[in-house]
Structure formats: structure tokens, C-alpha cells
Structure 1
Amino acid sequence: MEPQVTVNRTNVVTDIYTCYGIDNISYDLTSTGNPFVICVLLYMFLLLLSVITICGNLLVIIAIIYFKQLHTPTNYLILSLSAADLLVGLIVFPFDMTFTFSSCMYHENFFCKVRGSFDVSLSTCSVLNLCCISIDRYYAVCQPLTYKIKINHHAIVIMIKLSWGVSVLIGIGVMIIGKCEENCAINILITNTIAPILSFYLPVIIMLCIYLKIFFVAQTQVRSIQNTTSRSSESRGTVSKMERKATKTLATVLGVFLLCWTPFFLYLTFMPGG
């Protein structure tokens, strides 16, 4: 039998599962499972994910700040990425635990819009920082002679400011556009299509193109090294291993990235009603 949800705004029911704690609404859940157990498992999963995210990114931030030898342009981008992910663990996950499994499932209020704004802003910031890191790696691998000239501290500061500035603007825009009473077609178009394109799909296309270019250049460099070394079977085997390792590393980085972010932005794009 399909789970049924009955809403009655005239009665106040106090015996409600924890993650459905909404005043002045009663829910009649008919299911073979136990909603309370599901709620507890979801809270535990988000709590564990939050702790891992906070601890991992905090270690990265402390290491980069403390060790002076890590004060490089590339590591500053990694520092910015870790700061964005740290805020995801500190803000987004607790907000999701507080609102997503309670009132935001049934109606939206100001805090639900703030939660959504933080979700979009910080996830966009992570994606844009990763895009900046790919640009940094492109110049390091494909144009090493001009790398230090083009990717200096000034350029890194501009990249970081743009990543955070664009992310904040998109998050605020999503929250403002979300306030819609009637004729919301344009608002839904912007929230569900334009915002995900700017926040995720366009940066992903840029990153894919850049990393494919890096991969092809790296392959060319490996073949060049192979041609300048001896033709022994040992050297050919070493080069072959290098090529396989580069391929696996690139596939792993892009695969994990797409696996983590694609479901969220697909949901943001195709969720009913915006």
C-alpha cells in the first residue's frame, strides 16, 4: 500500500515523529516501516558527515596556514575550497537536520529559504574553487614557462574573490526569486535552469575541457620523454605505468566530483514546482 499523508490544519497533534515536528498540522502516516527509525538514521548520517567534513577541512586549513612552505598560489585556492567545504559542514548540514526533515518538507518559511540559499552559495563556491584549481593546473602543466607570471598571488586573490562573490550573489538571488506569490514561471526558470547552469553545469564543462587538455598534454610529454630515453623494455614499461596512473588519477578526480555534486544539481533543476 502506498504511504498516505493526511493534512488537517484544524487540529493540533502532539504525538508526531521528531522530524515532522510542525505545529497546527497533523499527519496520518500509514506505512510498513517505522518513520522514526528512518528519521534517526538520517540525522545520524548527516551528523557523521558533518563531523568528517569539519575535521577533514579543518586539518587542511590549519596545515596550509601553519606551514610556510605551503604558502603557494595553488594551496591558497585549496585553502579557499576547504573554507567553503568547512562552512558546508558547520552550516548546511545542521540546517538540513533542523529544517529539511521537518517544516521545509511541507511548507517554506524564511529559514527554509535561508537554508536553500546557503546550500546553493556554498556548493557553488566549492565548484568555482575547483574550476579555479583546474585553471591553475592547466598553466602549471601546459604552460610551465609562463606559470609564475600568470598565476601569481594577485591573480589568485582575484580568483578567490570572484568565486565567493559570484556564489553569494547566486545564493541571494535564489532566495529573493524564491519569494513568489503568482505567475512564477520566470522565477522557476531562473531558479531551476539559469542558476544551476551558472553554478554547476558551465564550470563542469570548463573543468572537463581543461582536464582533457591537461591529459593530452601530459601524454605528449610522456611520449617525448620516451623518445629521448633508451628503447629498453623497462623504460617502455615505466612510461606505460605513468600513462595508466595519470589516466586513473584524472578519472578518479572527475568521477568523485561528478558523483558528489551531480545529484544535488539535477534535483535542483528538475524538482517539481521549483
Structure 2
Amino acid sequence: MSVAVVVSLTVCGNLLVIITICHFKQLHTATNFLLLSLAMADCLVGVIVMPLYFTMLIDPHSCFGILYCTIFNVAAFYLTCISIYNVALISVDRYIALSNPFHYSMKMTANVTLRIIAILWLNSLIYNMVLLYFNGNTIDMKANVTCGECIVTVHNKWSIVDFIIVFLLPCSMILILYLNIFIIATKQANKIRSVRKCPQIHNSSMASERKAAKTLGVLVAVFLLCLVPYYVISVSESLVFLNSSINPIIYALFYPWFQRSFKLILTFRIFGTDSSLLNVLERETNVK
């Protein structure tokens, strides 16, 4: 698969996720806004980071300017941090939804989630600018620009801090929470099976929550598979960027609402009157 195809799939796939969640009001939920934030970060990886990275990979003898390397380094560090903490927030969201559904429905509103996402993007920007600044990556860029690559210097103490903040803490949170999610989902499934006379609405609601947890679990698993090699054995940066291309495929495979929304977008039905009110969560004749 050519570089252009990978970049195009990354950008287009994540744009579809962004358009879908933004357009259909039925999808304006806390969890979906977190997916929207992740899709925006992945889309920016495809727009900014991937083209610059693959240019250096394909043409290792070319020399890059200060502006080129500054944009690449800041975007790569910033968007990677955003993606990691987005996935961590998704795991927190699913844990609260399953462990305390009443509290979740009352407290985890769309507005609260949007504020959390805004804080995440702002704090991640501040952290990564501080990291690059105090390691001399924004003060003396000439020393870090060479033919074939854009060098990032991170001193030993800062590398430990970065490893803890950007990898160890969020990934530990993700693993611990999803282990608890699995335990809770298993207990709830056993209770539903043991109580024969449970209302059907309750059964379908709990089944929906478990399915959402499983789907997001696949998203998290793929994310960790792409991220862990970079931090643990430093195999390749491309694994981290590849995750931005894989995420839309996961949405397409496991989210029926994304498949239905995708059809509506491709057939230009989103331009119709009140198209944002269409039911994309359940299969209906007007969505087929």
C-alpha cells in the first residue's frame, strides 16, 4: 500500500467519524464526544505528521528547515499525548457508565465532556511545549536539524518524566479500568441470566453497555499494540502513526451507527432537511 493511500485513508476515515458525530444529534453523547476528540487527533496526524514523516522516510538525503522540523516535532509529541489520554478518558467513561450508571447519566453530560476534552487539549499543548522548550528543541533548533531527520533531544530526567506522564500513568489506568470493566460486565451478565423476570428494557440496556465496553476494548487493545513497542523497545515511530489509520476501521467494523451514517454521507442525504435528526442507532427504513 502506497504512502499516499495510507495518508488518504487516515484523513478520510477520521473525517467521516468527525462528520458523523457532529452532524447526527442522536450521537451527541459523552462517549461519542470522546471518540470525536480521538478522531480529530488522528485526522491531524494524517494531515500534518504523516506527510512530513513519510517524506523523511522516503527521501533520507533531503535536508529540512527549522520550520519544517518544528511543526513535525510539536505536532508528533502533542497529538500522541492527546491520543493516549483520549483513550484513557474513554476507559474512565466506560468504567463509570458500567459501575454507576445512575451517577453517570446525571453527571457525565455532553457539556461536561466537552469541557474535559478542552482541558485535555490545552494541558497537553502546555506540557509538550514545556517539554520541548526545556530540552532546547525550540530555543536552538539549528542544532536539531540535519539532513534526513528532525532530531528531538530529551535529557535523561525529562525522558523519565515523559515516560511516566505520557505512557506509564495513562496506560496503567487503561489496563486497570478495563480489567474492572470486564469483571463488572461478567457479574452483570450472570445476574441477568439468574433473574429470569428482569424487564426487557433493562436487559437490552445492560447488553448495550457491555457491547460498548467490548468494542472500546478492541480499540484500546489495538492502541496499546501500536504504542507499547515505541515506548518499550522503540521499534518504530510509524507504529504510533499507524494507529491513526486503524481506528476508523475499528469504528466501521464494530459500530453499526457508523456504518449507517457512512451510507447517509456517501449518498448525500445529510444535506436533506432535518437530516441531523435521522435515527442512526436503530435500523429503520429511512436509513437503509
Is residue 97 of structure 2 the alignment partner of residue 140 of structure 1? yes
1:87 alignment partner, one of 20, 44, 54:
44
Residues 98 and 185, structure 2, Cα contact 8 Å, conserved in 1: yes
Q: Which amino acid letter does the alignment assign opposite residue 201 of structure 1?
A: L
Residues 104 and 112, structure 1, Cα contact 8 Å, conserved in 2: no
Q: CA deviation at 1:71?
A: 1.4
Partner of 1:260: 226
Deviations 1:99-154 (A, max 9, x none): 45556999995532431221111011011111111111111111011112221133
Matches within 5 A, 1:116-195: 116-179=73-136, 187-195=154-162
Residues 193 and 269, structure 1, Cα contact 8 Å, conserved in 2: no
Partner of 2:53: 96
Shift of the 105–228 alpha-carbon distance from structure 1 to 2, 3 Å rule, reads farther
Q: CA deviation at 1:246?
A: 9.3
Distance in 2 of aligned mates of 1:156 and 1:247: 18
Is residue 185 of structure 2 the alignment partner of residue 218 of structure 1? yes
Q: Which amino acid letter does the alignment assign opposite residue 198 of structure 1?
A: I
1:204 alignment partner, one of 171, 191, 195:
171
Residues 42 and 83, structure 2, Cα contact 8 Å, conserved in 1: yes
Distance in 2 of aligned mates of 1:128 and 1:104: 35
Shift of the 176–102 alpha-carbon distance from structure 1 to 2, 3 Å rule, reads farther
Distance in 2 of aligned mates of 1:158 and 1:245: 26
Q: Which amino acid letter does the alignment assign opposite residue 252 of structure 1?
A: V
Q: Which amino acid letter does the alignment assign opposite residue 101 of structure 2?
A: P
Q: CA deviation at 1:221?
A: 0.7
Residues 196 and 268, structure 1, Cα contact 8 Å, conserved in 2: no
Q: CA deviation at 1:193?
A: 2.1
Residues 64 and 75, structure 1, Cα contact 8 Å, conserved in 2: yes
Q: CA deviation at 1:250?
A: 6.9
Shift of the 66–249 alpha-carbon distance from structure 1 to 2, 3 Å rule, reads closer
Distance in 2 of aligned mates of 1:104 and 1:116: 19
Shift of the 187–60 alpha-carbon distance from structure 1 to 2, 3 Å rule, reads closer
Matches within 5 A, 1:18-33: none
Q: CA deviation at 1:174?
A: 3.2
Give the secondary-structure state (helix, strand or coil) at the position aligned to 2:136: coil
Give the secondary-structure state (helix, strand or coil) at the position aligned to 1:179: coil
The sequence identity of aligned pairs, in percent, is 34
Residues 82 and 120, structure 2, Cα contact 8 Å, conserved in 1: yes
Give the secondary-structure state (helix, strand or coil) at the position aligned to 2:155: helix
Distance in 1 of aligned mates of 2:109 and 2:123: 21
Q: CA deviation at 1:197?
A: 2.0
| Structure 2: tracts of 5 or more residues without a match | 144-152, 198-207, 238-288
| Structure 1: tracts of 5 or more residues without a match | 1-43, 231-241
Distance in 2 of aligned mates of 1:171 and 1:195: 9
Number of aligned positions between the proteins: 213
Deviations 1:172-205 (A, max 9, x none): 12322342789xxx95124422113212221111
The worse-fitting range, judged by mean Cα deviation, of 119-128 and 157-166 is: 157-166
2:7 alignment partner, one of 12, 32, 50:
50
Give the secondary-structure state (helix, strand or coil) at the position aligned to 1:210: helix
Partner of 1:65: 22
Residues 80 and 129, structure 1, Cα contact 8 Å, conserved in 2: yes
Q: CA deviation at 1:252?
A: 3.4
Using the size of structure 2 for normalisation, the TM-score is: 0.63
Give the secondary-structure state (helix, strand or coil) at the position aligned to 2:191: helix
Residues 51 and 89, structure 1, Cα contact 8 Å, conserved in 2: yes
